[in-house]
């Protein structure tokens, strides 16, 4: 449609969005200066990968069909996105209104994590156009776990997009759209929680077929449950980390009072402590059930003990200690350790302890690592853009973004 036929309000909306797309000062921050070169190099590598194929940039081989892009970005990233469904359950189902000020930003975080991390699935498909097969294929493969995961990723991304959309409608001052979208929230939340319960465990179920390949200390018939439980405290830990980082670097956009912010963080720490306590005992129970005592004396056994004690039990106890003594520093340390623990666990299952007897080991190339970082950094950029433009955090007071030429202004209202 030509500009002359566009009605003035629509034209104004486009101009408003265009203006909002422009970067805001200060631009040359340390984060930008580090992330921009990585993203540029990562994009070039991705173009190269899609022209010349996976073999041109990755170390994948017949033994390792899944590399760091799936092991890190998909398998781990989706666990880190678990905070969205955990918090939605807490706020909308358990009615714990204390966490309402951070629900929007947590859902945004979950939505972007799924778009980028579940989207990273396509990078490691030898024939990426086949990604549509589970949706439009002639043979749907109802018995496949991957079929469930593919459909759930798609449906959950749509559900989270709709959950986030009232904030976008509010930003565009589209009152009618806002009312319609907001009315759908509760239904979408329930739908999203159901999907999350299933596909978080479904990710673990993908590895059930690989029993001969995964080291016995990491393989269990209960991997789906372990993946599900670990996604709860991994997601909560990421909310804590993201909240503290946002509080430090985006504080002018956050109107949550200090005392309320601390209460929320400590409440999250308590939740993470309980979830990781249950997870630790579940790991212990499975170890006793499998009875691989003889393997503990090996190098793999020591690595397993580091994961279980150093990166599962220790963060659990630190969360409890931090909550009891109301120490933000201890809680933040516990959250970082907990994220590291889940990362190591997921990498162990999908990469490190996978094909553990094979002499043909997989080590990612520098290009795979740069692309993995690119996915994370682009997500951070997009997250920052949303948070600095829209009402994902409660604003300290009613404000209005003024733009030139009667462009629709963002409706920045108190949402706490």
Residues 6+ apart with CB under 8 A from 258: none
Least gap, CB of 307 to another protein (angstroms):
19
If the CB atoms of residues 277 and 303 are measured against another protein, the closer one turns out to be: 277
Going by DSSP bridges, is the β-strand pair 411-412/399-400 parallel, antiparallel, or unpaired? Answer: antiparallel
d(CA 75, CA 64): 15
Residue 323 binds another protein (CB under 8 A): yes
Helix (H, G, I), strand (E, B) or coil at 169: helix
Q: How many residues bind another protein (CB under 8 A)?
A: 16
Across 342-378, b (16+ Cβ under 10 Å) vs e yields bbbbbbbbbbbbbbeeeeeebebbebbebbbbbbbbb
CB of 220 to another protein, least distance (A): 13
Nearer CB in complex with another protein: 273/371: 273
| Binding letters toward another protein, positions 258-297, x by CB under 8 A | ------------x--xx--xx--x--xx--xx-x------
Q: State the nearest-atom distance from the C-beta of 266 to another protein, in Å.
A: 10
Report the C-alpha gap between 187 and 200 in whole angstroms. 20
Q: Yes or no: say if 314 and 286 are a contact pair by the CB < 8 Å rule.
A: no
Selected binder of another protein within 175, 211, 326, 400 (CB under 8 A): 326
- In sequence order, the 6+-apart residues with CB closer than 8 A to the CB of 136 are none
Q: Cβ 243 to another protein, closest distance in Å?
A: 20
Cβ atoms of residues 35 and 381 within 8 Å: yes
Smallest distance from the beta carbon of 277 to another protein, in angstroms?
6
Asked if 222 interacts with another protein (CB under 8 A), we say: no
395 contributes a contact to another protein by CB under 8 A: no
CB of 265 to another protein, least distance (A): 14
- Residue with Cβ nearer another protein (171 or 323): 323
Q: Rank residues 171 and 219 by Cβ distance to another protein and give the closer one.
A: 219
Cβ within 8 Å of residue 416, ≥6 positions away: 100, 101, 255, 256, 394
Q: How far is CA 196 from CA 21, 83, 89, 154, 272, in A?
A: 32, 10, 11, 12, 18
- Output 199 or 283, the one with its CB closest to another protein: 283
Binding site for another protein (CB under 8 A): 270, 273-274, 277-278, 281, 284-285, 288-289, 291, 320, 323-326
């Amino acid at each position: 449609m030509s500009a002359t036929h566009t009605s003035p309000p629509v034209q104004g909306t486009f101009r408003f969005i265009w203006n909002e797309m422009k970067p805001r000062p200060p631009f040359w921050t340390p984060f930008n200066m580090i992330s921009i070169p990585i993203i540029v190099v990562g994009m070039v590598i991705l173009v190269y990968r899609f022209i010349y194929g996976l073999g041109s940039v990755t170390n994948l081989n017949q033994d390792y069909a899944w590399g760091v892009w799936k092991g890190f970005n998909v398998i781990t990233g989706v666990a880190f996105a678990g905070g969205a469904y955990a918090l939605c359950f807490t706020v909308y189902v358990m009615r714990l209104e204390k966490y309402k000020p951070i629900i929007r930003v947590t859902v945004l975080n979950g939505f972007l994590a799924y778009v980028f991390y579940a989207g990273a699935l396509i990078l490691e498909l030898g024939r990426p156009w086949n990604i549509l097969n589970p949706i439009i294929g002639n043979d749907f493969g109802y018995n496949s776990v991957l079929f469930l995961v593919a459909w759930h990723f798609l449906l959950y991304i749509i559900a989270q997009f709709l959950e986030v959309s009232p904030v976008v409608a509010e930003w565009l001052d589209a009152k009618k759209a806002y009312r319609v979208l907001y009315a759908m929230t509760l239904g979408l939340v329930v739908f999203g929680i159901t999907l999350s319960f299933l596909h978080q465990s479904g990710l673990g179920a993908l590895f059930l077929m690989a029993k001969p390949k995964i080291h016995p200390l990491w393989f269990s018939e209960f991997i789906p449950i372990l993946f599900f439980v670990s996604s709860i405290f991994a997601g909560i830990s990421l909310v804590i980390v993201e909240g503290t980082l946002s509080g430090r670097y985006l504080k002018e956009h956050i109107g949550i009072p200090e005392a309320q912010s601390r209460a929320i963080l400590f409440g999250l720490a308590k939740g993470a402590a309980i979830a990781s306590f249950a997870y630790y005992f579940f790991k212990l129970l499975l170890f006793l059930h499998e009875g691989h005592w003889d393997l503990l004396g090996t190098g793999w056994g020591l690595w397993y003990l580091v994961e279980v004690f150093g990166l599962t039990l220790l963060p659990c106890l630190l969360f409890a200690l931090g909550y009891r003594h109301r120490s933000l520093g201890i809680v933040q340390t516990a959250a970082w350790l907990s994220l590291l623990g889940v990362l190591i666990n997921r990498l162990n299952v999908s990469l490190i302890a996978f094909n553990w007897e094979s002499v043909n080991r997989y080590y990612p190339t520098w290009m795979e690592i740069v692309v993995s970082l690119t996915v994370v950094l682009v997500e951070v950029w997009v997250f920052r853009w949303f948070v600095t433009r829209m009402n994902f955090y409660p604003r300290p007071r009613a404000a209005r973004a003024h733009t030139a030429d009667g462009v629709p202004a963002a409706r920045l209202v108190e949402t706490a």
